Homo-oligomer: A and B are copies of this chain.
Amino acid sequence: MANRNEIPYKIYLEESEMPKAWYNLRADMKEKPAPLLNPATHEPASLDELSAVFCRELAEQELNNNDAYIEIPEEIRSFYKMYRPSPLVRAYCLEKALGTPAKIYYKFEGNNTSGSHKLNSAIAQAYYAKKQGLKGVTTETGAGQWGTALSMACAYFDLDCKVYMVKVSYEQKPFRREVMRTYGADVTPSPSMTTEVGKKILEAHPGTTGSLGCAISEAVEYAVSHEGYRYVLGSVLNQVLLHQSVIGLETKAALDKYGIKPDTIIGCAGGGSNLGGLIAPFVGEKLRGEADYQFIAVEPASCPSLTRGTYAYDFCDTGMICPLAKMYTLGSNYIPAPNHAGGLRYHGMSTVLSALRAQGILDAVSYKQSDVFAAAVQFARVEGILPAPESSHAIRAAIDTALKCKETGEEKTIVFGLTGTGYFDLYGYQKYNDGQLENYIPTDEEIAESLEKLPKF
C-alpha cells in the first residue's frame, strides 16, 4: 500500500499493475443498452451482419452483454506499455489557483503521439484486423485524434489505413493530416468524390464542411466494397467503450492505492468513448450497490445530444447505411456550426451512456466554447499542459464544481478525464487569443427540424 498521507503530483501504476482484462459494464447493467438494429429489417443486427462491416472478434465484443471481463491480448498489452499506464495527476496548482477546498485529480491520456485516449481502442481494433488476416481498415476522423491513433496502430501491425477526414478539420489541421501520412495512412477529405455516398452528399449540399456522419458513411462504403477491408470506429460503439475501460480501471487502481474515494467523476462526451471508459468500473460499483458517485457528461452547447437531444433509434451515419442505434441524438443530419472549434461534434451518443442517462445515473451539462477555451487557458497556465478543446469541456465542469465547493466549503474529491492535448488545435486557440471565437447555440427549431428525419417505426 502506498503512503496515503503523501499523494504525489502524479500517480503512476507499475506496468505489472496494469489491467489484464477490459471491463464490460454491460454485464453489470440490469437494463441493457438497446441493441443495434438492421436498418432494412429493423431487427437486432446479427453477428454475421455486423461481421460484414466489423472484424469478427470486434463484432462479438459489440454484442457481448454478459462477460464482465474480456482478456486483453498480450500483443495489445505490449503496445499499451509503450505509453501506458497513464498518470493520474493531482491538480495541486489548479486547486491553489482556484482557492478551493476541493481535491482535483485528472487522468491524463495525452502522453502519446495521437495526443489522446483514442490509441487505447485503435491498437485493439488494428490487432483484431491483423489477426483476422485483413489487408486494411477504413475509418473517419473529425478533430484528427482518432485518425492519428489508428494510423499509429496500423503502422505497428503493418496494415493499410484509409482515413476519411471531416473536411473542415482537414483544412484547419493540415499538420494532423501530415502526422497520419507519416505513419503511412491515406487521408481523404470528406465528403469526397471517391464514394457513392460522398458524391450524393456533395450534390445535395455542395458547400458542406462535412460531418462525422458523412465521413462514417464513406468509410463504411469503402470497407464493404473492397475485399480484405473492414470498417473501424473510434467512439460510440460498445466495443470502443470496452477497450477504453482501461482508463477507468487504471484510475480506480491508482485511487485505491492511495485510499482516495472520488465524489464526482467528470468527462467530456462526443460519442462517449472517453467518458464511458473512465466511468465504467465506477458505474459498475454503483450498479452493484458497492459505492455511490456522481457522474457528469460535458458536451458543447453547439452539439448538445445528451442535454437537448431525443432518446430514440437513429442512424449512426448521414448516409444511413450503418445499423440503427438507440441513443440520445440530434438527428443524423445534424451538423454543428463550422465555427465550432473542438471535436465532440457527433450527432448521437453511445448506447451505453444513453441508457445510463435514461436510467438517471448520468448527469449532463453543456458549455459554450468561449467558456471552454477560457478554462483551457486557465488550466494550461497553472498545470502546464495545453489541453485539447474536447478535454477542456471536462476542465470547465471540474473548475465550476470546485468553485461551487469554495462557496459551500465542501471538500469534494473531483476526478476528471483529461483526454488529450491541444497541440494540433492551435487554430481554435488562435481564434480565442484574437477574441474571434464565436459561440453558436442551435435554436429549438433547428434541433426539431433535424429530428424530423428520425427513422419512424
A interface, over-half SS: helix
**Among the interface residues A14, A83, A429, which one has the most CB atoms of the partner chain B within 10 A?**
A83
- Is A46 part of the binding interface, using a Cβ–Cβ cutoff of 8 Å? no
- Is A9 part of the binding interface, using a Cβ–Cβ cutoff of 8 Å? yes
Contacting chain B: which of A352-360, A398-406, A420-428?
Answer: A420-428
How many copies of this chain does one complex carry?
2
State whether A156 touches B423 (Cβ < 8 A).
no
Residues of B within 8 A of A380 (CB): 113, 155, 182-183
State whether A113 touches B9 (Cβ < 8 A).
no
State whether A113 touches B386 (Cβ < 8 A).
yes
- Is A455 part of the binding interface, using a Cβ–Cβ cutoff of 8 Å? no
State whether A381 touches B178 (Cβ < 8 A).
no
A433 closest partner in B (C-beta): B181
A82 to B380, CA, bound (A): 12
- Is A175 part of the binding interface, using a Cβ–Cβ cutoff of 8 Å? yes
- Is A111 part of the binding interface, using a Cβ–Cβ cutoff of 8 Å? yes
- Is A383 part of the binding interface, using a Cβ–Cβ cutoff of 8 Å? yes
Residues of B within 8 A of A81 (CB): 8-10
**Chain A residues numbered 386-426 whose CB sits less than 8 Å from any CB in chain B:** 386, 421, 423-424, 426
**Among the interface residues A184, A377, A383, A386, which one has the most CB atoms of the partner chain B within 10 A?**
A386
Give chain B nearest CB distance to A433 CB in angstroms. Answer: 5
- Is A283 part of the binding interface, using a Cβ–Cβ cutoff of 8 Å? no
Give chain B nearest CB distance to A436 CB in angstroms. Answer: 13
Residues of B within 8 A of A424 (CB): 423
Interface size counted on chain A using CB atoms at 8 A: 45
State whether B15 touches A381 (Cβ < 8 A).
no
A426 to B92, CA, bound (A): 34
**Chain A residues numbered 139-185 whose CB sits less than 8 Å from any CB in chain B:** 152, 155-156, 174-175, 178-179, 181-184
A380 to B155, CA, bound (A): 9
Residues of B within 8 A of A377 (CB): 182
- Is A53 part of the binding interface, using a Cβ–Cβ cutoff of 8 Å? no
A421 to B111, CA, bound (A): 11
A6-30: CB near B (< 8 Å → 1, else 0) gives 0011101011000000000000000
Give chain B nearest CB distance to A127 CB in angstroms. Answer: 14
Q: Which of B93, B156, B429, B430 contacts A82 (CB 8 A)?
A: B93
Residues of B within 8 A of A182 (CB): 377, 380, 386, 426, 429, 433
A79 closest partner in B (C-beta): B384
Residues of B within 8 A of A112 (CB): 384-385
State whether A178 touches B385 (Cβ < 8 A).
no
Give chain B nearest CB distance to A437 CB in angstroms. Answer: 12
State whether B178 touches A433 (Cβ < 8 A).
yes
Instruction: Given A82-B384, A152-B384, A421-B113, answer yes or no on A430-B178 (Cβ-Cβ < 8 Å).
Output: yes
- Is A448 part of the binding interface, using a Cβ–Cβ cutoff of 8 Å? no
A88-115: CB near B (< 8 Å → 1, else 0) gives 0100110000000000000000011101
State whether A381 touches B82 (Cβ < 8 A).
no
In the A-B complex, the 5 residue pairs with the closest CB atoms: A175-B426, A9-B81, A155-B381, A178-B426, A423-B423
Given A9-B78, A82-B383, A175-B423, 10 other A-B residues pairs in contact with their CB atoms under 8 A: A8-B14, A82-B89, A83-B384, A113-B421, A155-B382, A174-B430, A182-B377, A182-B426, A182-B433, A183-B380
Query: Can you sample 29 A-B contacts with CB below 8 Å?
Result: A9-B15, A9-B82, A10-B15, A79-B384, A82-B89, A82-B93, A83-B384, A111-B111, A113-B386, A113-B421, A115-B423, A155-B381, A155-B382, A156-B381, A156-B384, A174-B426, A174-B430, A175-B175, A175-B423, A175-B430, A178-B429, A179-B423, A179-B426, A181-B433, A182-B380, A182-B426, A182-B429, A182-B433, A183-B381
